[in-house]
Homo-oligomer: A and B are copies of this chain.
Amino acid sequence: MSRAKFGVLVIVCAALCAASVLPLVSPAARAQTSLANDPKLVEDLVYANRILYQQAVLDGFGHVSARSDKDPSHFLMSRSMAPGLVTSNDIMEFDKDGEPVDARGRNAYTERYIHAAIYRVRPDVKAVVHSHSPDIIPFSVTGTILRPLYHVSAFLRLGAPIFDTQEGFGDTDMLIRDNKLGDALAKALGNSGIALIRGHGFVAVADSTPIVVYRAIYTQTNARVQAEGMRLGTIKYLTPGEAVKAQAIVEATVGRPWELWKSQVGKIE
């Protein structure tokens, strides 16, 4: 069977399975559906999952969330699964403490507290990405600070602190698995656009889903470029004045790459 035919089969089976599951959905679940957020918010969140996988910011691990527009103390995020496979049916709602509103047997990511903690203290933040990008790890484990080399990563001017769970928590499993760890990470993040987590990865935050995707992608690119620049010589980074101005103009044009990234993902469900 060709891959194209297999794709069709999967779609057909997905439809059949979706149908067969319907009778199992409780009235409560239906109620939850009626409380759903703006469909555009969910759609953008599904695209964000797929785009971040396609751009290699996420692999089988990592996650992305968006603040709820119905209840701004809540947020939306996929059930525990690989981001590259997420569909709108996988999006769950979480309360301000990071607990699922209506789990219906679906597993949640262990590290949902990263998101909950940041949404609690950063009202300006509408979307959060957590990634294990291999381009970022070398910076996180050597204490090398990411700085903006060029206009598209000017948002790094807001800071890129490195959070280390060893300091304050000792030997952990490295996961941000509760609100205490989440709060400590959120505190380290402060007002920055990203924070690195030693031996683990990074978080990116922004006031929209397209911008947080944008920041996660260009954080990764800046890391590659900075590592190479440090080998070539002494880097002239953006000045603070340049960075303020460049960030404003570049992030205002995020719709341009966003449409491209969506087109590369193709149709979502």
Contact = CB atoms under 8 A, between A and B. Distances in A.
Interface in A50-105: 53, 59-61, 80-82, 84-85
- Oligomer: number of copies: 4
Contacts of A30: none
Interface residues of A, number: 79
Contacts of A239: 166, 171
Given A82-B259, A134-B221, A141 B235 contact: yes
A138 interface: yes
A2 B235 CA distance: 45
A41 interface: no
A110 B248 CA distance: 14
26 contacts: A1-B14, A1-B17, A1-B267, A3-B266, A6-B17, A9-B267, A60-B258, A60-B260, A61-B253, A61-B256, A82-B256, A82-B257, A82-B259, A82-B260, A85-B260, A138-B231, A139-B232, A140-B150, A142-B229, A149-B199, A150-B201, A151-B199, A166-B239, A170-B241, A172-B242, A199-B242
Interface of A: 1, 3, 5-6, 9, 13-14, 17-18, 21, 53, 59-61, 80-82, 84-85, 110, 132, 134, 137-144, 149-152, 154, 166, 170-175, 198-201, 221, 224-225, 227-239, 241-242, 245-246, 248-249, 253, 256-261, 263-264, 266-267
Given A137-B229, A150-B201, 19 more contacts: A3-B266, A6-B266, A59-B257, A80-B256, A81-B259, A84-B260, A85-B259, A137-B149, A138-B228, A138-B229, A141-B150, A142-B232, A144-B233, A150-B174, A150-B199, A166-B239, A174-B242, A174-B246, A199-B242
